[in-house]
Amino acid sequence: MLETGSVSALRLVAAGPEGTSEILVELGIVLLVLAMLGRLAARLGIPSIPLYLLAGLMLGEGGLIPLDAGEEFLAVGAQIGVVLLLLLLGLEYSPQDLQHGLKTTWFAGLVDGFANGLPGFLLGILMGWSVTASLLLAGVTYISSSGIIARLLGDFERYTNRETPVILSILVMEDIVMAVFLPIMAVLLVGASLSQGAVAAAVAITLVAAAFFVSFKFSRHVSAAVHSRSRELLLLSVLGLTFLVAGLAEAAQVSAAVGAFLLGLTLSGQVADDVRDLMPPLRDVFGGIFFVFFGVTIDPRDLLPVLLPALGLAVVTAATKIATGMWAARRAGIGSKGQWRTGVSLVPRGEFSIVIAGLGIAAGVQPQLGPLAAAYVLILAFSGSLMMRYAAKLGPPSRWLPARASTR
Amino acid sequence: MDIFETPLPGVGVRYEFTAESGDRVGIVVRRDGKRDIGIYDREDPDDCTGTLELSEGDASALAELLGGTNITARLESLRHTVEGLAIEWITMPGHGGLTNRTIGDGHIRTATSASIVAVIRDEVGVPGPGPNFELQAGDTVLVMGSEHAVGQARQILIG
């Protein structure tokens, strides 16, 4: 078995099939562009996700440099990117974190969901979209980017701040909601009728609950079985298990992403620590491919018609996010400046809005969903992180006025 | 002193206390072992005027500097290992562990199989102290046994 494998591999190297060189060249270009943009983002102090999206828009059909040979590889790479993104998200949290989050923040989570999902849903309905497509847009506008926010909190040295636990627990709550929202959407996207959808959604929720149960009860056993001192063996076991679980989840119509997220929750202890050390670069590379690929699938010419709705949605949902954040912080006894920081910090939207929109694109539910989500995330990932940097420092708007008056 | 503990999901745990001077201090122990120390702004009680990021090693060095007496404890804790046999000099802490309690209270022999060979107090050696021997802060205790047993005994002694 091994021999035939290596022989065909040799053949591939000696005389690759038609198109191999194009695929490699295109892949090389994509990765180098990502590397350049990553450096640029680091220098400017902005998140790299929106830059990767922009790169995808420019590389795709209708863009400056159209790609086609490597698209199939990019598609698979993007899928791997989503799976790794969610695996590591799951790994970030221990079951105890989630339990604590559910207990303390469920109400804030509910308010957050309504205040920020509703504008998206209403816009979808207003534009004449189906209920399913509008629900997807609600998901896009609801979920803040835990990736961008946690990173910036670290960069701005705000972990010690008293409002930070409020921000983080809202992010946890959003991620828990994601774990339930994604499978329901996955089901709605295939199941035609609402009653069929309801039954299937119940099945999906039961599956998720069962997975939660397993992760609480048997976390130690699964982790012990996967663990190895060899980095190579650990990586192979974790990746193998992840793809297997993700694939099976996809086959059961729960969505690969959710399967990976639940597996991430299940792994704990030493394995989780080791994988958290080992995996982020891999996730960032494939995650980058995911954002580029999302951009590639969107024709930049489709952005123009949705620019205005996206802008309006961004303004409205930035305001609703700030309001919910401030409300949650006030409930936790945080002062007015801290309330403002909490609200502003929750504004950035990013990776998960794209994951949700990607789900809709794959199902071909609404052609405008992709461009709208792309424009929306571009606007809020940039402006949200700028607001986190500057608005948070300046303090709440109520303080700007007297300060200005006194300088005059 | 009250120390408030808040979980930081995905990051670690945050501790907070008010010093006697009135300054409020926050410490974040991150999951990867890094520590952040922040002093809260008096005008804006939720924000820090500055934070200090420490590695795990930095943090324990700082803790020893702040702890004062513990420095000598660390310097005087020496371990010699011969194949299968470890000997360690352990200095008793100011409080906690077996300080101001008898050797018998620790049940070191039965719990770990390590033995206390001698105690050095004020540069005078007491060989073969009995179970009723009361340990004091600053005593140096000589423990012998297997590598593992000595480690466990150390835990019991210094708490």
List, for residues A25-79, the tens digit of each pLDDT value.
888 888 898 999 999 998 888 888 899 998 888 887 766 777 776 778 888 889 9
What is the pLDDT at residue A128? Answer: 94
Going by pLDDT thresholds of 50, 70 and 90, the confidence category of residue A1 is very low
Rounded Cα distance, A336 and A344, in Å: 12
Q: Which of A268, A255, A213 is nearest to A352 (CA)?
A: A255
Residue of A nearest to B4 (CA): A162
Rounded Cα distance, A344 and A47, in Å: 16
Residue of B nearest to A265 (CA): B10
* pLDDT, mean of residues A243-250: 88
Least confident interval from A97-101, A141-145, A234-238, A385-389: A97-101
Neighbours of B133 (CB within 10 A): 16
| pLDDT tens, position by position, A281-338 | 999 899 999 998 888 888 888 999 999 999 999 999 999 999 999 999 999 899 999 9
- By Cβ distance, the residue of B9, B37, B46 closest to A163 is B46
The DSSP letter of residue A145 is -
> How many Å lie between the alpha carbon of A222 and the closest alpha carbon of chain B?
21
* pLDDT, mean of residues A230-251: 88
Going by pLDDT thresholds of 50, 70 and 90, the confidence category of residue A114 is very high
Give the position of tokens 């604590």: A100
Rounded Cα distance, A151 and A45, in Å: 11
Q: Which residues of A197-206 are buried (b: 16+ CB within 10 A; e: fewer)?
A: beebbeebbe
What is the model's pTM?
Answer: 0.75
Least confident interval from A78-92, A242-256, A341-355: A242-256
| pLDDT tens, position by position, A192-235 | 566 766 776 677 677 767 777 776 777 777 777 778 888 889 88
What is the pLDDT at residue B3? Answer: 87
Contact B11 A93 (CB under 8 A): no
What is the pLDDT at residue A166? Answer: 92
The DSSP letter of residue A301 is G
Going by pLDDT thresholds of 50, 70 and 90, the confidence category of residue A248 is confident
ipTM over 0.85: no
Instruction: Report how far Cα A195 is from the mean position of its chain's Cα atoms.
Output: 29
| pLDDT tens, position by position, B109-146 | 888 888 888 898 877 888 888 888 889 888 888 888 88
Rounded to the nearest 5°, which phi and psi values hold at A81?
-60, -45
Interface test with B, best of A91, A93, A161, A172 (most B CBs within 10 A): A161
For chain B, the maximum distance between any two Cα atoms, rounded to a whole number of angstroms, is 60
**Helix H or strand E encompassing B108:** helix B108-112
Contact A138, A115 (CB under 8 A): no
3-class DSSP assignment, residue B16:
strand
Cα angle A335-A341-A347, degrees, rounded to a multiple of 5: 140
3-class DSSP assignment, residue B14:
strand
Going by pLDDT thresholds of 50, 70 and 90, the confidence category of residue B108 is confident
What is the pLDDT at residue A133? Answer: 93
What is the pLDDT at residue A277? Answer: 84
Rounded Cα distance, B45 and B83, in Å: 56
Contact B11 A168 (CB under 8 A): yes
* pLDDT, mean of residues B37-53: 88
Q: B72 pLDDT exceeds 50? A: no
Contact B82, B128 (CB under 8 A): no
Q: Which residues of B touch A165 (CB under 8 A)?
A: 6-8, 14
Which string of DSSP letters, residue by residue, matches A133-149? Answer: HHHHHHHHHH---HHHH
Cα angle B60-B63-B67, degrees, rounded to a multiple of 5: 140
Rounded Cα distance, B95 and A143, in Å: 50
What is the pLDDT at residue A223? Answer: 77
Contact A396, A325 (CB under 8 A): no
- By Cβ distance, the residue of B10, B38, B48 closest to A97 is B10
Contact A45, A154 (CB under 8 A): no
Rounded Cα distance, A159 and A277, in Å: 20
What is the pLDDT at residue A405? Answer: 44
Q: A134 pLDDT exceeds 90? A: yes
CA-atom Rg of chain B in angstroms: 20
The DSSP letter of residue A273 is H
Sign of torsion over alpha carbons A331, A335, A336, A340: negative
Contact B38 A157 (CB under 8 A): yes
Contact A161 B10 (CB under 8 A): no
Going by pLDDT thresholds of 50, 70 and 90, the confidence category of residue A408 is very low
Which string of DSSP letters, residue by residue, matches A24-91? Answer: HHHHHHHHHHHHHHHHHHHHHT--SHHHHHHHHHHHSTTSSS---TTHHHHHHHHHHHHHHHHHHHHH
Give the position of tokens 């007297």: A402
> How many Å lie between the alpha carbon of B137 and the closest alpha carbon of chain A?
35
Q: Which residues of A touch B28 (CB under 8 A)?
A: 159-160
